[in-house]
A and B are shown apart, each in its own frame.
Chain A
Amino acid sequence: MRVVAVASALAVLGLLDGALAGFRSSLGRRGAVEHRVRDRVAARRGLLLMGGLLLPVAVATGLHALAPGPWPAEAYVRAGTAMLAVYLPYAVVTLLALLGYLALGWRWGYLASAVILGPFTLVRPLVATAGVVAGAVRGDDGGVTVGCLLALGAVLAVEPLSGRLWWSAGQGVRSVASATQRQ
Protein backbone atom coordinates (compact mmCIF):
# COMPACT_ATOMS: atom_id res chain seq x y z
CA MET A 1 0.00 0.00 0.00
CA ARG A 2 2.82 2.39 0.86
CA VAL A 3 4.27 2.07 -2.59
CA VAL A 4 0.90 2.99 -4.14
CA ALA A 5 0.53 6.02 -1.84
CA VAL A 6 4.03 7.30 -2.61
CA ALA A 7 3.65 6.68 -6.35
CA SER A 8 0.27 8.43 -6.35
CA ALA A 9 1.65 11.47 -4.54
CA LEU A 10 4.54 11.70 -7.01
CA ALA A 11 2.17 11.30 -9.97
CA VAL A 12 -0.08 14.10 -8.68
CA LEU A 13 2.93 16.42 -8.25
CA GLY A 14 4.21 15.45 -11.70
CA LEU A 15 0.87 16.15 -13.39
CA LEU A 16 0.52 19.45 -11.52
CA ASP A 17 4.00 20.42 -12.67
CA GLY A 18 3.02 19.43 -16.21
CA ALA A 19 -0.03 21.70 -16.09
CA LEU A 20 2.03 24.65 -14.86
CA ALA A 21 4.76 23.93 -17.42
CA GLY A 22 2.15 23.84 -20.18
CA PHE A 23 0.76 27.17 -18.95
CA ARG A 24 4.24 28.74 -18.92
CA SER A 25 5.04 27.42 -22.37
CA SER A 26 2.12 29.37 -23.82
CA LEU A 27 3.01 32.71 -22.23
CA GLY A 28 4.71 35.47 -24.16
CA ARG A 29 3.74 34.03 -27.55
CA ARG A 30 0.69 35.80 -28.96
CA GLY A 31 0.43 39.30 -27.50
CA ALA A 32 -3.28 39.24 -26.62
CA VAL A 33 -4.37 41.02 -23.45
CA GLU A 34 -7.09 38.51 -22.62
CA HIS A 35 -5.71 34.98 -22.49
CA ARG A 36 -7.59 33.12 -19.76
CA VAL A 37 -9.10 30.60 -22.16
CA ARG A 38 -5.70 29.97 -23.74
CA ASP A 39 -4.19 29.56 -20.26
CA ARG A 40 -6.64 26.79 -19.42
CA VAL A 41 -6.07 25.04 -22.75
CA ALA A 42 -2.30 25.26 -22.26
CA ALA A 43 -2.52 23.87 -18.73
CA ARG A 44 -4.68 20.94 -19.88
CA ARG A 45 -2.27 20.18 -22.72
CA GLY A 46 0.69 20.34 -20.34
CA LEU A 47 -1.02 17.96 -17.94
CA LEU A 48 -1.83 15.46 -20.69
CA LEU A 49 1.66 15.75 -22.15
CA MET A 50 3.19 15.10 -18.75
CA GLY A 51 0.92 12.07 -18.40
CA GLY A 52 2.32 10.76 -21.67
CA LEU A 53 5.90 11.53 -20.73
CA LEU A 54 5.51 9.72 -17.41
CA LEU A 55 4.15 6.59 -19.09
CA PRO A 56 7.67 5.17 -19.65
CA VAL A 57 8.21 5.43 -15.87
CA ALA A 58 5.10 3.33 -15.27
CA VAL A 59 6.11 0.87 -18.00
CA ALA A 60 9.65 0.53 -16.64
CA THR A 61 8.32 -0.02 -13.12
CA GLY A 62 5.83 -2.59 -14.39
CA LEU A 63 8.51 -4.45 -16.31
CA HIS A 64 10.68 -4.36 -13.22
CA ALA A 65 7.82 -5.89 -11.22
CA LEU A 66 7.29 -8.63 -13.81
CA ALA A 67 10.96 -9.50 -14.05
CA PRO A 68 12.09 -12.73 -12.41
CA GLY A 69 13.07 -12.45 -8.77
CA PRO A 70 11.63 -10.35 -5.94
CA TRP A 71 10.37 -6.83 -6.72
CA PRO A 72 12.18 -4.31 -4.48
CA ALA A 73 9.05 -2.46 -3.34
CA GLU A 74 10.88 -1.08 -0.32
CA ALA A 75 13.52 0.48 -2.59
CA TYR A 76 10.76 2.25 -4.54
CA VAL A 77 9.21 3.52 -1.32
CA ARG A 78 12.55 4.81 -0.04
CA ALA A 79 13.29 6.51 -3.36
CA GLY A 80 9.81 7.99 -3.67
CA THR A 81 9.84 9.27 -0.09
CA ALA A 82 13.21 10.93 -0.69
CA MET A 83 11.86 12.58 -3.85
CA LEU A 84 8.75 13.78 -2.03
CA ALA A 85 10.93 15.28 0.69
CA VAL A 86 12.51 17.47 -2.00
CA TYR A 87 9.44 18.17 -4.13
CA LEU A 88 6.70 18.71 -1.56
CA PRO A 89 8.13 21.86 0.07
CA TYR A 90 8.82 23.31 -3.40
CA ALA A 91 5.28 22.50 -4.52
CA VAL A 92 3.65 23.90 -1.38
CA VAL A 93 5.53 27.21 -1.61
CA THR A 94 4.78 27.47 -5.34
CA LEU A 95 1.07 26.82 -4.84
CA LEU A 96 0.84 29.32 -1.99
CA ALA A 97 2.58 31.94 -4.14
CA LEU A 98 0.21 31.18 -7.02
CA LEU A 99 -2.76 31.56 -4.71
CA GLY A 100 -1.31 34.85 -3.52
CA TYR A 101 -0.76 36.01 -7.09
CA LEU A 102 -4.37 35.25 -8.00
CA ALA A 103 -6.17 36.23 -4.81
CA LEU A 104 -4.31 39.20 -3.34
CA GLY A 105 -4.15 42.74 -4.74
CA TRP A 106 -1.78 43.62 -7.55
CA ARG A 107 1.04 44.80 -5.27
CA TRP A 108 1.14 41.53 -3.30
CA GLY A 109 0.51 39.56 -6.44
CA TYR A 110 3.53 41.23 -7.99
CA LEU A 111 5.66 40.39 -4.94
CA ALA A 112 4.57 36.74 -5.05
CA SER A 113 5.75 36.61 -8.64
CA ALA A 114 8.96 38.62 -8.14
CA VAL A 115 10.14 36.90 -4.97
CA ILE A 116 8.88 33.34 -5.42
CA LEU A 117 7.40 32.33 -8.77
CA GLY A 118 10.16 33.73 -11.00
CA PRO A 119 13.11 32.40 -8.97
CA PHE A 120 11.34 29.06 -8.44
CA THR A 121 10.90 28.64 -12.20
CA LEU A 122 14.62 29.27 -12.61
CA VAL A 123 15.64 26.63 -10.04
CA ARG A 124 13.02 24.09 -11.13
CA PRO A 125 15.49 21.94 -13.16
CA LEU A 126 17.87 21.93 -10.20
CA VAL A 127 15.12 20.92 -7.79
CA ALA A 128 13.97 18.18 -10.17
CA THR A 129 17.53 16.87 -10.45
CA ALA A 130 18.12 17.06 -6.69
CA GLY A 131 14.97 15.00 -6.07
CA VAL A 132 16.03 12.37 -8.57
CA VAL A 133 19.55 12.15 -7.12
CA ALA A 134 18.08 11.80 -3.61
CA GLY A 135 15.70 9.12 -4.88
CA ALA A 136 18.39 7.18 -6.70
CA VAL A 137 20.73 7.29 -3.71
CA ARG A 138 18.04 6.29 -1.21
CA GLY A 139 16.60 3.61 -3.51
CA ASP A 140 19.99 2.01 -4.12
CA ASP A 141 18.63 -0.18 -6.93
CA GLY A 142 19.33 -0.15 -10.67
CA GLY A 143 15.69 -0.44 -11.70
CA VAL A 144 14.65 2.34 -9.35
CA THR A 145 17.39 4.58 -10.70
CA VAL A 146 16.15 4.01 -14.25
CA GLY A 147 12.64 5.04 -13.17
CA CYS A 148 14.02 8.16 -11.46
CA LEU A 149 15.97 9.18 -14.56
CA LEU A 150 12.96 8.67 -16.83
CA ALA A 151 10.90 10.89 -14.52
CA LEU A 152 13.60 13.56 -14.62
CA GLY A 153 13.59 13.42 -18.41
CA ALA A 154 9.82 13.97 -18.41
CA VAL A 155 10.04 16.97 -16.08
CA LEU A 156 12.83 18.62 -18.08
CA ALA A 157 11.17 17.94 -21.45
CA VAL A 158 7.57 18.92 -20.78
CA GLU A 159 7.83 22.71 -21.07
CA PRO A 160 10.01 22.98 -24.20
CA LEU A 161 8.08 20.16 -25.85
CA SER A 162 4.74 21.79 -25.10
CA GLY A 163 6.03 25.08 -26.50
CA ARG A 164 7.29 23.41 -29.64
CA LEU A 165 4.14 21.36 -30.20
CA TRP A 166 1.50 24.02 -29.67
CA TRP A 167 2.81 27.53 -29.18
CA SER A 168 6.00 28.22 -31.11
CA ALA A 169 4.58 29.58 -34.38
CA GLY A 170 1.59 31.69 -35.27
CA GLN A 171 0.20 35.12 -35.95
CA GLY A 172 2.31 35.40 -39.07
CA VAL A 173 5.52 35.20 -37.07
CA ARG A 174 7.81 33.13 -39.23
CA SER A 175 9.80 30.53 -37.36
CA VAL A 176 13.55 30.88 -37.03
CA ALA A 177 14.03 27.54 -38.72
CA SER A 178 12.18 28.46 -41.90
CA ALA A 179 13.99 31.77 -42.14
CA THR A 180 17.35 30.12 -41.74
CA GLN A 181 16.50 27.56 -44.42
CA ARG A 182 15.55 30.34 -46.81
CA GLN A 183 18.95 31.92 -46.44
Chain B
Amino acid sequence: MSEAPAPRLHGHREPDPALRRDAVEITDLLWRIDEAGRRLPVRRSEVVERLLASGQRKAARTVARMPARDDVLDDEWVDALGIRVHCELQRLVEELQFPRRVAALLAPLLDDLRAGGGGPVRVVDLGCGLGYVVRSLAHRGLLGPGVELVGVDLNPVLVAEADRLARAEELDCRFVHGDALRPGVAVDDPARTVVISSGVLHHLSPESLTALARAEAALGLAAWAHWDIAPCGWSTLGAWIFHQARMREPVSRHDGVLSARRAHPAEVLLATARSGAPEYDHAVHEGPRWHPAAIDVVRPLVGIRR
Protein backbone atom coordinates (compact mmCIF):
# COMPACT_ATOMS: atom_id res chain seq x y z
CA MET B 1 0.00 0.00 0.00
CA SER B 2 1.52 3.27 -1.03
CA GLU B 3 1.65 6.15 1.34
CA ALA B 4 -1.04 8.73 0.69
CA PRO B 5 0.27 12.05 -0.57
CA ALA B 6 0.37 14.81 1.98
CA PRO B 7 -2.79 16.90 1.79
CA ARG B 8 -2.33 20.20 0.02
CA LEU B 9 -3.04 22.78 2.64
CA HIS B 10 -4.99 25.76 1.45
CA GLY B 11 -2.59 28.63 1.05
CA HIS B 12 0.28 26.72 2.61
CA ARG B 13 3.62 28.41 2.25
CA GLU B 14 7.09 27.81 3.50
CA PRO B 15 8.64 30.34 5.89
CA ASP B 16 10.24 33.31 4.17
CA PRO B 17 13.28 31.70 2.48
CA ALA B 18 15.27 34.94 2.59
CA LEU B 19 14.86 35.19 6.35
CA ARG B 20 17.39 33.52 8.59
CA ARG B 21 15.82 31.35 11.25
CA ASP B 22 17.79 33.08 13.97
CA ALA B 23 16.69 36.60 12.96
CA VAL B 24 15.47 38.49 16.01
CA GLU B 25 13.65 41.72 16.76
CA ILE B 26 15.70 44.50 18.32
CA THR B 27 13.20 44.95 21.16
CA ASP B 28 13.67 41.29 22.10
CA LEU B 29 17.26 42.13 23.06
CA LEU B 30 17.01 45.48 24.86
CA TRP B 31 15.68 44.29 28.23
CA ARG B 32 16.88 41.48 30.46
CA ILE B 33 14.69 40.77 33.46
CA ASP B 34 15.53 37.97 35.89
CA GLU B 35 13.05 35.62 37.58
CA ALA B 36 12.64 38.02 40.49
CA GLY B 37 11.75 40.86 38.12
CA ARG B 38 15.12 42.59 38.54
CA ARG B 39 16.57 44.52 35.65
CA LEU B 40 19.91 43.17 34.41
CA PRO B 41 22.44 45.28 32.47
CA VAL B 42 22.40 44.85 28.68
CA ARG B 43 25.73 45.21 26.90
CA ARG B 44 25.45 47.12 23.66
CA SER B 45 28.31 45.20 22.06
CA GLU B 46 26.62 41.88 22.82
CA VAL B 47 23.36 43.04 21.22
CA VAL B 48 25.25 44.29 18.16
CA GLU B 49 27.16 41.00 17.88
CA ARG B 50 23.95 39.00 18.23
CA LEU B 51 22.34 40.96 15.40
CA LEU B 52 25.43 40.67 13.19
CA ALA B 53 25.51 36.92 13.83
CA SER B 54 22.07 36.62 12.27
CA GLY B 55 23.00 38.87 9.35
CA GLN B 56 20.95 41.87 10.57
CA ARG B 57 23.46 44.57 9.74
CA LYS B 58 21.02 47.47 9.62
CA ALA B 59 19.56 46.52 12.99
CA ALA B 60 23.09 46.23 14.38
CA ARG B 61 23.86 49.77 13.18
CA THR B 62 20.68 51.04 14.86
CA VAL B 63 21.72 49.52 18.19
CA ALA B 64 25.31 50.70 17.81
CA ARG B 65 23.99 54.28 17.83
CA MET B 66 22.11 53.82 21.12
CA PRO B 67 23.56 55.59 24.16
CA ALA B 68 25.56 53.45 26.57
CA ARG B 69 27.88 53.95 29.51
CA ASP B 70 30.83 51.55 29.76
CA ASP B 71 29.13 49.51 27.03
CA VAL B 72 25.95 49.09 29.11
CA LEU B 73 22.86 50.48 27.39
CA ASP B 74 21.32 53.47 29.15
CA ASP B 75 18.31 52.00 31.02
CA GLU B 76 16.37 55.23 31.07
CA TRP B 77 16.90 55.82 27.38
CA VAL B 78 15.94 52.24 26.49
CA ASP B 79 12.77 52.51 28.61
CA ALA B 80 11.80 55.76 26.89
CA LEU B 81 12.47 54.16 23.53
CA GLY B 82 10.36 51.14 24.48
CA ILE B 83 7.42 53.35 25.41
CA ARG B 84 7.76 55.36 22.19
CA VAL B 85 7.89 52.18 20.12
CA HIS B 86 4.83 50.75 21.86
CA CYS B 87 2.92 54.02 21.49
CA GLU B 88 3.60 53.85 17.75
CA LEU B 89 2.57 50.21 17.75
CA GLN B 90 -0.65 51.17 19.54
CA ARG B 91 -1.46 53.48 16.63
CA LEU B 92 -1.24 50.52 14.24
CA VAL B 93 -3.22 48.25 16.56
CA GLU B 94 -5.89 50.95 16.68
CA GLU B 95 -5.90 51.20 12.89
CA LEU B 96 -6.17 47.41 12.66
CA GLN B 97 -9.38 47.73 14.74
CA PHE B 98 -7.97 45.19 17.13
CA PRO B 99 -10.32 45.65 20.10
CA ARG B 100 -13.29 45.21 17.73
CA ARG B 101 -11.76 42.01 16.36
CA VAL B 102 -11.26 40.69 19.89
CA ALA B 103 -14.79 41.63 20.95
CA ALA B 104 -16.36 40.06 17.85
CA LEU B 105 -14.61 36.74 18.51
CA LEU B 106 -14.96 36.65 22.29
CA ALA B 107 -18.59 37.75 22.56
CA PRO B 108 -20.17 34.27 22.07
CA LEU B 109 -17.49 32.61 24.22
CA LEU B 110 -18.10 35.00 27.08
CA ASP B 111 -21.86 34.68 26.71
CA ASP B 112 -21.53 30.91 27.20
CA LEU B 113 -19.35 31.37 30.28
CA ARG B 114 -21.67 33.99 31.76
CA ALA B 115 -24.67 31.74 31.12
CA GLY B 116 -23.05 29.16 33.42
CA GLY B 117 -23.30 31.60 36.34
CA GLY B 118 -20.70 31.78 39.11
CA GLY B 119 -19.48 35.35 39.11
CA PRO B 120 -17.45 37.41 36.70
CA VAL B 121 -15.55 36.08 33.73
CA ARG B 122 -11.95 37.15 33.27
CA VAL B 123 -10.08 38.05 30.08
CA VAL B 124 -6.30 38.06 30.44
CA ASP B 125 -4.13 39.73 27.79
CA LEU B 126 -0.80 37.88 27.72
CA GLY B 127 2.12 40.08 26.62
CA CYS B 128 -0.10 43.15 26.76
CA GLY B 129 2.63 45.77 26.25
CA LEU B 130 1.02 49.15 26.95
CA GLY B 131 -2.29 47.35 27.36
CA TYR B 132 -4.10 49.12 24.56
CA VAL B 133 -6.43 46.20 23.82
CA VAL B 134 -7.43 45.81 27.47
CA ARG B 135 -7.77 49.56 28.00
CA SER B 136 -9.79 49.98 24.82
CA LEU B 137 -12.11 47.09 25.73
CA ALA B 138 -12.60 48.68 29.14
CA HIS B 139 -13.14 52.16 27.70
CA ARG B 140 -15.74 51.08 25.15
CA GLY B 141 -17.33 48.32 27.22
CA LEU B 142 -17.12 46.07 24.19
CA LEU B 143 -17.30 42.82 26.15
CA GLY B 144 -20.39 43.71 28.13
CA PRO B 145 -20.91 43.46 31.89
CA GLY B 146 -19.37 40.96 34.28
CA VAL B 147 -15.96 40.80 32.63
CA GLU B 148 -12.70 41.48 34.48
CA LEU B 149 -9.91 42.75 32.27
CA VAL B 150 -6.30 42.02 33.19
CA GLY B 151 -3.17 42.77 31.18
CA VAL B 152 0.09 40.92 31.91
CA ASP B 153 3.57 41.50 30.55
CA LEU B 154 7.09 40.38 31.41
CA ASN B 155 8.38 43.92 30.93
CA PRO B 156 7.79 45.94 34.15
CA VAL B 157 8.34 49.26 32.37
CA LEU B 158 5.47 48.63 29.96
CA VAL B 159 3.24 47.33 32.74
CA ALA B 160 3.86 50.47 34.81
CA GLU B 161 3.06 52.69 31.84
CA ALA B 162 -0.06 50.67 30.99
CA ASP B 163 -1.22 51.06 34.59
CA ARG B 164 -0.53 54.80 34.53
CA LEU B 165 -2.47 55.23 31.29
CA ALA B 166 -5.41 53.22 32.63
CA ARG B 167 -5.55 55.29 35.81
CA ALA B 168 -5.29 58.54 33.84
CA GLU B 169 -8.47 57.58 31.97
CA GLU B 170 -10.12 55.94 35.01
CA LEU B 171 -10.55 52.63 33.22
CA ASP B 172 -11.85 49.51 34.92
CA CYS B 173 -8.94 47.16 34.23
CA ARG B 174 -5.63 46.27 35.85
CA PHE B 175 -2.10 45.35 34.84
CA VAL B 176 0.27 42.84 36.36
CA HIS B 177 3.96 42.20 35.83
CA GLY B 178 4.90 38.55 35.44
CA ASP B 179 4.20 35.31 33.63
CA ALA B 180 0.50 35.31 32.76
CA LEU B 181 0.30 31.51 32.86
CA ARG B 182 1.89 31.08 36.27
CA PRO B 183 -0.89 30.21 38.74
CA GLY B 184 -1.86 33.16 40.88
CA VAL B 185 -0.40 35.84 38.65
CA ALA B 186 -3.52 36.64 36.63
CA VAL B 187 -5.59 33.46 36.50
CA ASP B 188 -7.62 32.63 39.62
CA ASP B 189 -10.51 30.64 38.17
CA PRO B 190 -9.21 29.02 34.96
CA ALA B 191 -12.59 27.58 33.97
CA ARG B 192 -13.92 31.15 33.74
CA THR B 193 -10.83 32.70 32.17
CA VAL B 194 -10.05 33.38 28.52
CA VAL B 195 -6.46 34.26 27.64
CA ILE B 196 -5.81 36.43 24.61
CA SER B 197 -2.71 37.92 23.02
CA SER B 198 -1.80 39.99 20.00
CA GLY B 199 1.50 39.85 18.16
CA VAL B 200 3.09 37.45 20.63
CA LEU B 201 3.18 34.13 18.76
CA HIS B 202 5.81 35.13 16.21
CA HIS B 203 8.25 35.72 19.07
CA LEU B 204 8.05 32.02 19.97
CA SER B 205 9.70 29.01 18.35
CA PRO B 206 7.49 26.02 17.42
CA GLU B 207 8.75 24.28 20.56
CA SER B 208 7.74 27.28 22.68
CA LEU B 209 4.34 27.39 20.96
CA THR B 210 3.76 23.80 22.04
CA ALA B 211 4.88 24.68 25.56
CA LEU B 212 2.49 27.65 25.59
CA ALA B 213 -0.46 25.45 24.60
CA ARG B 214 0.60 22.86 27.17
CA ALA B 215 0.75 25.49 29.93
CA GLU B 216 -2.65 26.88 28.98
CA ALA B 217 -4.18 23.40 28.98
CA ALA B 218 -2.48 22.52 32.28
CA LEU B 219 -4.11 25.58 33.86
CA GLY B 220 -7.49 24.41 32.55
CA LEU B 221 -8.40 27.66 30.79
CA ALA B 222 -11.87 27.90 29.28
CA ALA B 223 -10.40 29.14 26.01
CA TRP B 224 -7.68 31.20 24.42
CA ALA B 225 -7.33 33.32 21.30
CA HIS B 226 -3.91 34.44 20.13
CA TRP B 227 -3.86 36.89 17.24
CA ASP B 228 -0.83 37.13 15.01
CA ILE B 229 0.13 38.10 11.49
CA ALA B 230 -0.69 35.63 8.73
CA PRO B 231 2.60 35.23 6.84
CA CYS B 232 2.30 35.94 3.13
CA GLY B 233 3.58 38.41 0.57
CA TRP B 234 0.63 40.72 1.20
CA SER B 235 1.21 40.96 4.93
CA THR B 236 4.94 41.57 4.47
CA LEU B 237 4.19 44.28 1.89
CA GLY B 238 1.50 45.75 4.14
CA ALA B 239 3.82 45.70 7.15
CA TRP B 240 6.51 47.49 5.16
CA ILE B 241 4.08 50.13 3.84
CA PHE B 242 2.51 50.82 7.21
CA HIS B 243 5.75 50.88 9.14
CA GLN B 244 7.28 53.26 6.62
CA ALA B 245 4.19 55.45 6.56
CA ARG B 246 3.27 55.45 10.23
CA MET B 247 6.35 54.69 12.33
CA ARG B 248 9.07 57.17 13.22
CA GLU B 249 11.50 55.02 15.18
CA PRO B 250 13.98 52.91 13.16
CA VAL B 251 13.49 50.16 15.78
CA SER B 252 9.73 50.12 15.09
CA ARG B 253 10.29 49.92 11.34
CA HIS B 254 12.78 47.08 11.66
CA ASP B 255 10.82 45.02 14.16
CA GLY B 256 7.46 45.55 12.49
CA VAL B 257 8.49 44.18 9.13
CA LEU B 258 10.46 41.34 10.72
CA SER B 259 7.33 40.39 12.71
CA ALA B 260 5.44 39.78 9.48
CA ARG B 261 8.30 37.81 7.94
CA ARG B 262 8.88 35.52 10.91
CA ALA B 263 5.20 34.87 11.72
CA HIS B 264 4.11 31.23 11.78
CA PRO B 265 1.87 29.74 9.10
CA ALA B 266 -1.53 28.43 10.24
CA GLU B 267 -0.48 24.79 9.95
CA VAL B 268 2.44 25.33 12.36
CA LEU B 269 0.16 27.06 14.85
CA LEU B 270 -2.41 24.28 14.63
CA ALA B 271 0.12 21.45 14.84
CA THR B 272 1.84 22.88 17.91
CA ALA B 273 -1.45 23.74 19.62
CA ARG B 274 -2.84 20.24 19.01
CA SER B 275 0.38 18.72 20.24
CA GLY B 276 0.43 20.80 23.43
CA ALA B 277 -3.28 20.77 24.22
CA PRO B 278 -4.97 17.75 22.60
CA GLU B 279 -8.01 18.10 24.84
CA TYR B 280 -8.91 21.42 23.23
CA ASP B 281 -10.53 22.21 19.86
CA HIS B 282 -8.29 24.44 17.77
CA ALA B 283 -8.86 26.64 14.76
CA VAL B 284 -7.05 29.38 12.88
CA HIS B 285 -9.55 31.84 11.47
CA GLU B 286 -8.08 32.94 8.17
CA GLY B 287 -9.03 33.04 4.52
CA PRO B 288 -7.02 31.99 1.49
CA ARG B 289 -3.61 33.56 1.05
CA TRP B 290 -3.62 33.85 -2.71
CA HIS B 291 -5.62 37.08 -2.75
CA PRO B 292 -5.42 40.07 -0.46
CA ALA B 293 -7.92 39.10 2.24
CA ALA B 294 -6.89 42.22 4.07
CA ILE B 295 -9.14 41.60 7.05
CA ASP B 296 -7.34 38.30 7.72
CA VAL B 297 -3.83 39.73 7.71
CA VAL B 298 -4.01 39.45 11.48
CA ARG B 299 -5.95 36.37 12.56
CA PRO B 300 -6.43 34.32 15.72
CA LEU B 301 -5.41 30.85 16.79
CA VAL B 302 -8.34 29.78 18.94
CA GLY B 303 -8.39 26.97 21.48
CA ILE B 304 -11.62 25.98 23.24
CA ARG B 305 -11.87 23.33 25.95
CA ARG B 306 -14.08 20.44 24.85
Chain A residues at the B interface, C-beta cutoff of 8 Å: 27-34, 106-107, 109-111, 113-115, 118-119, 121-122, 163, 171, 173-176, 179-180, 182-183
The B interface is mostly helix, strand or loop, or mixed, namely helix
A25 CB to closest chain B CB (Å) equals 9
Chain B residues whose C-beta falls within 8 Å of the C-beta of A119 in the assembled complex: 241, 245
- Are A173 and B245 CB-contacts (below 8 A) given A33-B132, A33-B135? no
CA distance A115 to B291 in the complex (A): 13
Chain B residues whose C-beta falls within 8 Å of the C-beta of A183 in the assembled complex: 67-69, 74
Does B43 sit within 8 A of A, measured CB to CB? no
A-B contact pairs, 13 of them (CB 8 A): A28-B87, A29-B87, A31-B87, A31-B165, A32-B168, A33-B165, A114-B294, A114-B297, A118-B242, A119-B245, A173-B83, A176-B81, A183-B74
Chain B residues whose C-beta falls within 8 Å of the C-beta of A182 in the assembled complex: 67, 74
Chain B residues whose C-beta falls within 8 Å of the C-beta of A30 in the assembled complex: 87
Residue pair B161, A180 in contact (C-beta under 8 Å): no
Does B88 sit within 8 A of A, measured CB to CB? yes
Does B14 sit within 8 A of A, measured CB to CB? no
A74 CB to closest chain B CB (Å) equals 38
Residue pair B76, A122 in contact (C-beta under 8 Å): no
| Closest B residue, CB atoms, query A179 | B77
Residue pair A111, B294 in contact (C-beta under 8 Å): yes
Chain B residues whose C-beta falls within 8 Å of the C-beta of A118 in the assembled complex: 95, 238, 241-242, 245-246
The A interface is mostly helix, strand or loop, or mixed, namely helix
Residue pair B295, A110 in contact (C-beta under 8 Å): yes
Q: In the complex, how many residue pairs between chain A and chain B have their CB atoms under 8 Å apart?
A: 91
Chain A residues whose C-beta falls within 8 Å of the C-beta of B248 in the assembled complex: 28, 163
B294 CB to closest chain A CB (Å) equals 5
Residue pair B161, A31 in contact (C-beta under 8 Å): yes
A155 CB to closest chain B CB (Å) equals 15
CA distance A28 to B252 in the complex (A): 12
CA distance A32 to B83 in the complex (A): 12
Does B200 sit within 8 A of A, measured CB to CB? no
Interface residue ranges of B251-301 to A (CB < 8 Å): 292, 294-295, 297
Chain B residues whose C-beta falls within 8 Å of the C-beta of A175 in the assembled complex: 80
Chain A residues whose C-beta falls within 8 Å of the C-beta of B45 in the assembled complex: none
Residue pair A180, B67 in contact (C-beta under 8 Å): yes
CA distance A31 to B247 in the complex (A): 14
Residue pair B76, A121 in contact (C-beta under 8 Å): no
Interface residue ranges of B32-75 to A (CB < 8 Å): 67-69, 74
CA distance A179 to B82 in the complex (A): 14
Q: Which of B74, B101, B245 contacts A179 (CB 8 A)?
A: B74
| Closest B residue, CB atoms, query A110 | B97
- Are A27 and B91 CB-contacts (below 8 A) given A183-B69, A183-B74? yes
B272 CB to closest chain A CB (Å) equals 28
CA distance A27 to B68 in the complex (A): 29
CA distance A46 to B292 in the complex (A): 34
Chain A residues whose C-beta falls within 8 Å of the C-beta of B92 in the assembled complex: 28
| Closest B residue, CB atoms, query A173 | B80
Chain A residues whose C-beta falls within 8 Å of the C-beta of B297 in the assembled complex: 114
Q: Which of B97, B161, B242, B247 contacts A109 (CB 8 A)?
A: B97
Does B171 sit within 8 A of A, measured CB to CB? yes
B97 CB to closest chain A CB (Å) equals 4
Residue pair A107, B245 in contact (C-beta under 8 Å): no
4 nearest CB pairs, A to B: A28-B91, A179-B77, A106-B100, A28-B88
Chain A residues whose C-beta falls within 8 Å of the C-beta of B69 in the assembled complex: 183
| Closest A residue, CB atoms, query B101 | A106
Does B207 sit within 8 A of A, measured CB to CB? no
CA distance A166 to B89 in the complex (A): 20
Does B20 sit within 8 A of A, measured CB to CB? no
- Are A179 and B87 CB-contacts (below 8 A) given A33-B135, A111-B294, A119-B241? no
Q: In the complex, given contacts A113-B95, A114-B96, A179-B77, what are 5 additional A-B residue pairs having Cβ atoms less than 8 angstroms apart?
A: A32-B165, A121-B246, A122-B244, A175-B80, A183-B67
CA distance A110 to B238 in the complex (A): 13
Residue pair A173, B84 in contact (C-beta under 8 Å): yes
Chain A residues whose C-beta falls within 8 Å of the C-beta of B242 in the assembled complex: 114, 118
A177 CB to closest chain B CB (Å) equals 11
Does B110 sit within 8 A of A, measured CB to CB? no
Q: Which of B67, B139, B238 contacts A114 (CB 8 A)?
A: B238
